[in-house]
Each structure stands twice: as structure tokens, then as C-alpha cells.
Amino acid sequence: MNNFSYTKANSVDEVVSLTHTNENNKIIAGGTNIIDLMKYFVTEADTLIDINPIDGIAEITELDNGGIRIGALMTNADTAYHPIIEEKYPILSKAILAGASAQIRNMATNGGNLLQRTRCYYFYDINTPCNKRVPGSGCSAMKGYNRIHAILGHSENCIAVFPSDMCVALAALGAVVHISGTDGDRTLKFSDFHRLPEDTPEIDNNLKKGEIITGIELPEKGFSKNYSYLKLRDRSSYSFALVSVATGLELENGIIKEARIALGGVSHKPWRVKEAEDFLTDKEANPENFAAAADIILEGAVGFEHNSFKINLAKKAIVRNCMMALDPASQRPGAKPSL
Ligand SMILES: Cc1cc2nc3c(=O)[nH]c(=O)nc-3n(C[C@H](O)[C@H](O)[C@H](O)COP(=O)(O)OP(=O)(O)OC[C@H]3O[C@@H](n4cnc5c(N)ncnc54)[C@H](O)[C@@H]3O)c2cc1C
Ligand code: SF4
């Protein structure tokens, strides 16, 4: 780890001014990702700016439009167990609790979750070429061990996936990210927040220099009656998703009025395909229709030597998760899924 200074910031403006003047001044929130990256020499900082003393961005606020705003500094644990999240947005609670461990969720913040970096093994190993870490150096995963890598939206420069669980639910819910920077405050639709690697895989998202995330807004509709989050991974706990699916359905007498399906573990950003959701509208909620929607979602999927299995796995996961969403009680520990 390189030498660095440490300072505490008391306001959003203070953070913006410190990060804008020097790109090597980095924010620390829970520290569960940035400290690892510094220890592995993947990233370095001149100054770590601790944003924990900032007031007003660690709570949930109910909005006049019926939605809520979740503070960026609120921990993943406090968010998942908050009564409003459990009742109105259970899909978010479930996705957060599928991630990491209780200890990590107690430290990890919501802003940090959106900005965590990929878990590609080569990204963390500074002795190997990696375009995301050192642009132009090559991609070791392309012909290396790529079991956990992308099947959708990858480029010839990078096949990494974005590893968050929480963000898969936020994508399905249609969240909005609240941001502050030198030009004031702005919002970004969740679908526009993370980006695909294209030929600049070193850039994970559309946050600009010096900007800080202050909150995440959720619309009123939380799909609390028919929802499910399914995470498939190599170990049953404390492991990142090979494939995950967040589903929210609005049903009327077994007919789908609105569908939301987002995938995790398959791309550089949470993967949502509007055409598949439109296809399901006004159709019967059954495995055949969910399988047809899965085919639309996975159109163009391409695997590599060690991860082609993910295409079939994703298809089955989508169908199974949509069926589980018909009966959220089936998600209780020990309960059998409906398919
Ligand atoms: C062993 C392990 C297992 C894990 N398993 C999972 C898992 O299964 N699923 C999952 O989803 N996650 C998992 N995680 C990741 C974990 O959820 C993230 O590390 C965590 O959410 C990051 O939050 P943090 O507050 O600790 O971020 P930090 O480490 O403090 O910061 C991360 C990045 O975000 C920036 N940052 C933080 N807050 C802000 C802000 N408000 N505005 C702008 N920039 C900001 C920092 O500068 C840094 O670049 C795991 C982590 C570990 C260590
Ligand atoms: S997949 Fe991306 S992060 Fe992994 S080695 Fe290739 S360029 Fe680096």
C-alpha cells in the first residue's frame, strides 16, 4: 500500500472541492473495497477523504411523489432491514442480503456498493495485463480463466462483470441516482449510471470528475406482492453471483400487467432488456412465456472457454425466478420453489 493522508469531510461541498482539485484524492465510505484495492496496489490515493461525518445522507426520506430517497452513506445492512424497504421494496432487501457477509454489510454503504469494482481475478493481480487497470495492456481474462466473466455486452477490450447484488434490484426497480458536483446537483437514471466496457473499460460508470453520490431514489412502485431475487454462485454464501436475477411483476388474474427483469453477474452493468418486459405485458404468467422472454434477454449472448454454461444457466434462472415471483412465500429459507 502506498503512503497516503487521511482527512474527514463534514460537507458534500468539501468533498467535491477536494476530489475535483486532485483526482488522486479518493473518497472512503465503508472502506470494504477501496482498502483492498489499495493493499493490492490496484489503486492509490494521495488523500483518503472519509465522508462518514457528513450529515443528512445516511437515512431514508419519504418523498411527496410516493417514492423514497435512500442516503448514499446508509449501510447496506441498515437499508436491507429498514421497515420501509422490507415492506415496500422487499426485492431490494433480498438482493442486499444475498451479498457479502453480515460483517461486510454492516460496514458497506449504498454509494460504495454502486462504485465497487469488478472481481475479475486479473484486475486484482498487478503482474498480469488488464485493460481496466492499465489501459492498453491487454485482457488476460479473454484467453485465461474466465468462469466468472461476461456473456453480454462485453468488448474485445474487457469481459469483466459488475459484481453487485444490490444494483440488480435497483435496476429492476428503475432507481435514480442523486449526484453532487462542481456544477451543482444532478440525477442519473440507474440504467445510465453504469456503462459497458467498449474501448474504455477503465471507466466503470458515468460519474464525472469530483462528483459524489448523495442518494438513490426509488419510485413509488416497489413490486412488493410479486417479486423474487435469485443468486446462483459457486458457494451458497459469501460468494459473488455467477448469474443473478431480480424480478418484479404486477399481475391481474394471472395476467402480467408489468414485468421487470434484471440480470447480474453477466455483464459490465446490470442487464435489463425492455423488449423482453414489453413482450410479457398482457401475457399469461407461465414458464413458456418467461422462457420466451429469457430468449429475448439473452439474444446475442456470447460465452468464452470457461463460462459458456452461463447462457443456459441464465435462461433457467430467469424462468425459475419469474415463477418464484408468483409466490414470494416460496423464497423463505427451506421452502421449495414453484418450478
Ligand atoms: C469479501 C467480500 C465479499 C463481498 N461480496 C459481495 C456480494 O456478494 N455482493 C455484493 O453486491 N457486494 C459484495 N461485496 C462488495 C461490497 O458490497 C462493497 O465492497 C461495498 O458495498 C462497498 O461499499 P463501501 O462503503 O465499503 O465502499 P468503499 O470501499 O468505501 O468505496 C468504494 C468506492 O466507492 C467510492 N465511494 C464510496 N462512497 C461514495 C460516494 N457516496 N460517492 C462517490 N464515491 C463513493 C470510493 O471512493 C471507492 O472508489 C463484497 C465485498 C467483500 C470485501
Ligand atoms: S476482463 Fe477486464 S478487468 Fe478482467 S483482465 Fe480483462 S480487461 Fe482486466
Residues 6+ apart with CB under 8 A from 143: 305
Q: Which atom of ligand 2 is nearest to the CA of 197?
A: 2
Q: How far is 19 from 14, CA to CA, in rounded Å?
A: 9
Residue 43: CB within 6 Å of ligand 1?
Answer: no
- Torsion sign, CA atoms 111, 115, 120, 122: negative
DSSP-based three-state secondary structure for 247? strand
The C-alpha angle with vertex 173 and arms to 170 and 177, in degrees rounded to 5, equals 50
pLDDT higher than threshold 70 for residue 333:
no
pTM here is 0.97
- pLDDT band at 236; cut points 50, 70, 90: confident
- Taking the centre of ligand 2 as the mean of its atom positions, its distance from the CA of residue 158, in whole angstroms, is 5
> 35-80, pLDDT tens digit by residue?
999 999 999 999 999 999 999 999 999 999 999 999 999 999 999 9
Residue 33: CB within 6 Å of ligand 1?
Answer: yes
- Taking the centre of ligand 2 as the mean of its atom positions, its distance from the CA of residue 206, in whole angstroms, is 19
Q: What would the DSSP string read from start to end of 292-324?
A: HHHHHHTTT----TTTTHHHHHHHHHHHHHHHH
Residue 32: CB within 6 Å of ligand 1?
Answer: yes
> 284-322, pLDDT tens digit by residue?
999 999 999 999 999 999 999 999 999 999 999 999 999
- Cell numbers standing for residue 100: 457479502
List alpha helices for 210-255, DSSP H: none
Residue 28: CB within 6 Å of ligand 1?
Answer: yes
Residue 71: CB within 6 Å of ligand 1?
Answer: no
Identity (one letter) of the amino acid at 172? A
Cβ contact 280:325 at 8 Å: no
Cβ contact 296:273 at 8 Å: yes
Among candidate residues 268, 233, 292, the one with its CA nearest the CA of residue 151: 268
- Cell numbers standing for residue 94: 433480498
Residue 165: CB within 6 Å of ligand 1?
Answer: yes
- Cell numbers standing for residue 70: 435512500
Q: How far is 236 from 49, CA to CA, in rounded Å?
A: 35
pLDDT higher than threshold 70 for residue 335:
no
Cβ contact 187:217 at 8 Å: yes
- The phi and psi torsions of 173 (rounded to 5 degrees) equal -80, -10
Residue 31: CB within 6 Å of ligand 1?
Answer: yes
Cβ contact 301:317 at 8 Å: no
Note the pLDDT of residue 330. Answer: 72
> 84-97, pLDDT tens digit by residue?
999 999 999 999 99
Q: How far is 119 from 270, CA to CA, in rounded Å?
A: 15
Instruction: Give the mutation target among 7, 28, 214 for probing the ligand 1 site: most ligand atoms within 8 A of CB.
Output: 28
Q: What would the DSSP string read from start to end of 117-139?
A: PP--TTTT-TTS-BTTTSTTS-B
Residue 118: CB within 6 Å of ligand 2?
Answer: yes
Note the pLDDT of residue 328. Answer: 80
Q: Which ligand is nearest to the CA of 163?
A: 1
- Taking the centre of ligand 2 as the mean of its atom positions, its distance from the CA of residue 164, in whole angstroms, is 17
Residue 304: CB within 6 Å of ligand 2?
Answer: no
Ramachandran quadrant class, 31 (left: phi over 0; alpha: psi -120 to 50; beta: rest): left
- Cell numbers standing for residue 298: 439473452
Note the pLDDT of residue 339. Answer: 44
pLDDT higher than threshold 60 for residue 29:
yes
Residue 245: CB within 6 Å of ligand 2?
Answer: no
DSSP secondary structure letter of residue 71:
E
Q: How far is 70 from 79, CA to CA, in rounded Å?
A: 8
Instruction: Give the mutation target among 37, 40, 118, 120 for probing the ligand 2 site: most ligand atoms within 8 A of CB.
Output: 120
Residue 72: CB within 6 Å of ligand 1?
Answer: yes
Domains (range + CATH), the chain: 5-51 (3.30.43.10), 227-328 (3.30.390.50)
